[in-house]
Amino acid sequence: MSTTSRPVDGISTQTARVAFVGAGPGDHSLLTVRATDLLAAADAVVVDSVAAEDIVKQFGREDVTIIETTQGDRGSALTHASWAKLVARAATQVAKNAAQNGAATAGGPGLLVRLMTGDPTAFHGLAAELAACHKAGHSTEIVPGVSTSAGVAAYAGIPLTSRESASVHIVDAATSDADWGGGVASTTTVVVIGTDAAQLADGLDRLLEAGRDGATPVALTEHGTTVEQKTTTTTLAEASALLRRGDLQPDVALVGATVPLRDEMSWYETKPLFGWRVLVPRTKDQAGPTIERLAEYGARGETVPTISVEAPARRSRCSARSRAWSPVGTSGSGSPRSTPCGPCARSSRRSASTCGRSRASRSPRSAA
């Protein structure tokens, strides 16, 4: 598996297939069947996080190229336009490589997968990237994924809607001109998505300033849908101060009347082994089923290859010592005769003695 930070520049008349695939909120088992099929066939995958790179290593080919970059040339975050240019350029390179290697077949040209956290249609620059690919002549496909808002809420045991809360308002805390007024009504569940605790704190402050009741329940979730998930409940008035202390690092906040339902509906963080870290003394190939079983109970399994297969100890000692035997004469056939090591000699004497007793015990009956 090869990794590069940037696609190689180049202009080619060849075209590639580009699939925009939703990676889900974190749990690899939430990937769709179509997503895993495309990852298994991809020539290159563009990712924007280490977590997404782990997904490629699990489902991708050994020789797949991973294109991972989150910053521009000057260290700043990539804009939607920069991402669009990068994806289109990577697709052109994939098409060029496929043509040079003769990999393009009747089934289609080279395949580039653009792996996006959650669902590709929400809070990503999908429109700009699609436009850039179409302009370059590449064919495209969109594979939906489990959205971060729906996935994290489900794993936290919090429904997004209920009789008391009939609508959902999703806000990206990183957006400066976000509509916080749409989440003021008490019948609306607000999902605030951010990249860190400080960003979430700013967003919840703006929701409070917009007019949402400070007593509204809030659930703060970090590492959502993974075995490291942790959910903390508080109120809107207290959430900002709690986040600024630095004790929590959530990236999703749920605000609304459905949050208290977690007390009865929590299912993931209440698994019997949730939060446990279990070391599995097996090789990576052998540990797979055990790690999957541990995950079902909420534990995180880690492979520790402490077992090795070797020759039997007695045979190993004899083989080592046999090389140190010293010739003391020759056998009847003229070949050198050697003196065995102590353990082997004792073993031979015991075997000969046993055989002698056996022959002695059988002789009277034979004579009869």
Rounded Cα distance between 232 and 260, Å, is 11
Could you tell me if residue 205 is left (phi over 0), alpha (psi between -120 and 50 degrees) or otherwise beta?
alpha
Structural tokens at position 244: 């600024």
Q: Which of 43, 48, 119, 251 is catalytic?
A: 48
Nearest to 178 by CA among 165, 197, 191, 161: 191
Task: Identify the DSSP state of 108.
Answer: B
Q: Residue 17, exposed/middle/buried by CB under 10 A (0-12, 13-18, 19+)?
A: buried
85 belongs to the catalytic site: yes
> Cα dist. 59→28, 55, 183, 217 in Å?
10, 6, 39, 39
For the beta carbon of residue 240, count every other beta carbon within 10 angstroms: 21
Task: Supply the DSSP string of 313-341, one letter for each residue.
Answer: HHHHHHHHHHTT--EEEE-TTSSEEEPPP
Catalytic residue at 285? no
Q: What are phi and psi of 306, to 5 degrees?
A: -105, 0
- Please identify which of the residues 27, 37, 57, 85 carries the catalytic annotation: 85
Catalytic sites, residue numbers: 48, 85
